[in-house]
C-alpha cells in the first residue's frame, strides 16, 4: 500500500468536492468512530464462532465496505494532522513488544 499516494488521492477528492470545511480533525475522528461502529454492528448478535465465518455469508461485502471506510478516514485524518502512519505504527509495535513479553513455552 502506497500510503502517501492514497492520501494525495483522497485529499484531491475532498478538495474537488469542497469538503475541506467539513474535514476538521474533530469531524474526521467522529466519522472514523462512526464507521468502526458500523463494522461492529455486523458482528453484534453473532457468536464468536459465527463471526469467524462472516466472509462466507451474506454480509461479506458489508464488511469490506466498512473496513475500506475506516482506512479511508484514518488516511484522511492522519494527512490533515500531519501524522506519519508508518512511523507511529512501527513505534507502537516496538513498544508493545517490550510491554508484553512472549509466553515461554519452555
> Binding residues for a copy of itself, per CB under 8 A?
1-3, 6, 9-10, 13, 16-18, 22, 24-27, 29-48, 51-52, 54-55, 63-65, 67-72, 74, 77-78, 80-83, 85-86, 88-89, 91-93, 96-97, 100, 102-103
All residues at 6 or more sequence positions from 24 whose CB lies less than 8 Å from its CB, including other chains: 80
* Number of neighbouring beta carbons within 10 Å of residue 26: 9
Q: Give the three cell numbers for residue 53.
A: 465465518
- Local structure of 20: helix, strand or coil: coil
Q: Give the three cell numbers for residue 34.
A: 462512526
Q: Residue 83 Cβ, how far from a copy of itself at the closest point, in Å?
A: 6
Q: Residue 11 Cβ, how far from a copy of itself at the closest point, in Å?
A: 12
Radius of gyration for the chain, computed over Cα atoms and rounded to the nearest angstrom: 17
Amino acid at each position: 500500500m502506497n500510503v502517501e499516494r492514497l492520501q494525495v488521492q483522497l485529499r484531491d477528492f475532498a478538495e474537488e468536492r469542497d469538503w475541506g470545511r467539513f474535514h476538521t480533525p474533530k469531524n474526521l475522528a467522529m466519522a472514523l468512530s462512526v464507521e468502526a461502529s458500523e463494522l461492529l454492528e455486523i458482528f453484534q448478535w453473532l457468536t464468536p464462532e459465527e463471526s469467524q465465518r462472516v466472509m462466507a455469508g451474506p454480509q461479506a461485502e458489508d464488511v469490506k465496505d466498512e473496513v475500506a471506510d475506516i482506512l479511508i478516514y484514518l488516511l484522511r485524518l492522519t494527512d490533515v494532522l500531519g501524522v506519519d502512519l508508518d512511523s507511529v505504527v512501527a513505534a507502537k509495535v516496538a513498544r508493545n513488544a517490550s510491554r508484553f513479553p512472549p509466553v515461554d513455552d519452555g
